[in-house]
């Protein structure tokens, strides 16, 4: 009896394509994906991007599930971010809250490419240290990387005592 060769099919993990795909991942998976992402150019990230909070660092079990459900709720206050490129190296933006049709726009930020807090690579930085922002917002430092075409994974850091501490992951998509 002749022996037949078996073809073994190995499925590589697929890249996330949507905010829903990102929302299914835990903090460890999000960190791995973030590190594998690429740094978009300032002019590549423009316009109104939909946003979703994905995971809060340190929240596990029931709290993790509750926060994830709250972030998926259609009335979750944060709707996303709006970006404008001012040049090839700098930009600005603002958060949109409470509505998709006529959102309130809160908490301006400046954008630039700088070293990431998550590894030895660059990231698209969002700096809230703007005198018009409240002091507690000025302590936030976000950064994003592109993980799929038009899909960005972000890390939000809170600077406490001069040290940035990863607080949560968020996603953005055009």
Q: What is the pLDDT of residue 67?
A: 64
Identify which of 85, 20, 100 has the alpha carbon closest to the alpha carbon of residue 47.
Answer: 85
> Token digits for 86?
């001012």
> Token digits for 102?
């006529």
Residue the block writes with tokens 């079990």: 61
Residue at 14 is within a domain? no
Residue at 121 is within a domain? yes
Q: What is the pLDDT of residue 11?
A: 45
Number of structural domains in the chain: 1
Q: Among residues of the chain, what percentage have pLDDT more than 90?
A: 65
Residue at 140 is within a domain? yes
> Token digits for 164?
């940035």
Read off the pLDDT of residues 47-80 as tens digits, 9 standing for 90 and up: 999 999 998 776 566 665 666 665 666 766 789 9
Q: What is the mean pLDDT of residues 117-134?
A: 96
Residue at 9 is within a domain? no
Which residues, other chains included, contact 164 with Cβ-Cβ below 8 Å and sequence gap of 6+?
Answer: 117, 141, 157, 158
Q: What is the pLDDT of residue 10?
A: 45
Identify which of 39, 82, 30, 32 has the alpha carbon closest to the alpha carbon of residue 57.
Answer: 30
Q: What is the mean pLDDT of residues 80-90?
A: 97
**Over the chain, what is the mean pLDDT?**
87
Which residues, other chains included, contact 152 with Cβ-Cβ below 8 Å and sequence gap of 6+?
Answer: 40, 45, 49, 124, 144, 145, 146, 171, 172, 173
Residue at 105 is within a domain? yes
Provide the domain limits for residue 110: 19-173
Detail the DSSP E strand segments found in 38-135.
47-56, 78-85, 91-97, 104-115, 122-127
Which residues, other chains included, contact 162 with Cβ-Cβ below 8 Å and sequence gap of 6+?
Answer: none
Residue at 128 is within a domain? yes
Q: What is the mean pLDDT of residues 85-104?
A: 92
Question: pLDDT at residue 9 above 60?
Answer: no
**Is the model more confident about 112 or about 67?**
112
DSSP state of 14: P
CATH number at residue 100: 2.40.128
Question: pLDDT at residue 96 above 70?
Answer: yes
Residue at 39 is within a domain? yes
Question: pLDDT at residue 12 above 90?
Answer: no
Residue at 3 is within a domain? no
């Amino acid at each position: 009896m002749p022996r037949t060769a078996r073809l073994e099919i190995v499925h590589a993990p697929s890249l996330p394509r949507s905010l829903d795909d990102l929302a299914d991942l835990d903090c460890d998976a999000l960190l791995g994906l973030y590190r594998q992402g690429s740094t978009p150019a300032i002019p590549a990230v423009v316009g109104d991007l939909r946003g979703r909070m994905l995971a809060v660092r340190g929240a596990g079990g029931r709290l993790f599930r509750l926060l994830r459900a709250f972030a998926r709720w259609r009335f979750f206050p944060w709707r996303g971010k709006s970006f404008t490129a001012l040049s090839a190296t700098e930009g600005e933006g603002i958060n949109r809250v409470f509505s998709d049709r006529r959102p309130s726009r809160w908490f301006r930020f400046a954008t630039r490419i700088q070293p990431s807090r998550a590894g030895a690579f660059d990231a698209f930085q969002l700096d809230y240290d703007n005198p018009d922002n409240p002091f507690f917002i000025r302590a936030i430092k976000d950064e994003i990387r592109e993980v799929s075409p038009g899909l960005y994974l972000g890390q939000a850091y809170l600077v406490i005592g001069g040290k940035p501490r990863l607080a949560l992951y968020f996603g953005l998509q055009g």
